[in-house]
């Protein structure tokens, strides 16, 4: 195990967490409440991730930090941008490349939903037996 990479993953994850907190404080100061300020924060983190990806910076962070760059929402936004960019590079129209990104999100969300249902069923069965 590369301790330097693990340390950098925690550091980058922490920086992203602090950035999220700063956005939440900013949106609270601007008067946004509840779910709206959370949604605005997530959108900003996704946009920052995509901008860093377009500048070829996020790829370097992924290489150095691994899961610290991949797991936050910014990692999902970068993955969608990569899928769309890859489709565009293969000659797909703009609309088809955007659709490729949406399909990626659908598959990702579908896997997450199935996993959550399975975990819920298993935990229910375990709690009934115990």
Mean pLDDT of 32-39: 89
Digit-coded pLDDT (tens) for 66-111: 777 766 666 777 777 878 888 888 898 888 888 888 787 777 677 7
Alpha helices for the chain (secondary structure H): 3-29, 34-54, 58-65, 67-70, 73-89, 94-129
**The tokens 């489709």 sit on which residue?**
87
Q: How many CA atoms lie within 13 A of 120 on its CB side?
A: 6
């Amino acid at each position: 195990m590369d301790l330097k990479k693990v340390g950098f993953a925690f550091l980058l994850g922490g920086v992203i967490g602090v950035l999220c907190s700063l956005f939440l404080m900013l949106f609270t100061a601007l008067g946004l409440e509840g779910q709206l300020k959370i949604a605005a924060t997530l959108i900003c983190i996704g946009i920052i991730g995509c901008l860093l990806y377009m500048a070829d910076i996020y790829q370097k962070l992924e290489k150095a930090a691994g899961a610290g760059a991949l797991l936050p929402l910014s990692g999902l936004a970068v993955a969608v941008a990569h899928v769309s960019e890859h489709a565009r590079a293969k000659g797909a129209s703009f609309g088809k490349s955007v659709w490729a990104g949406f399909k990626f999100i659908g598959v990702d969300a579908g896997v997450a939903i199935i996993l959550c249902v399975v975990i819920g069923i298993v935990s229910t069965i375990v709690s009934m037996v115990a």
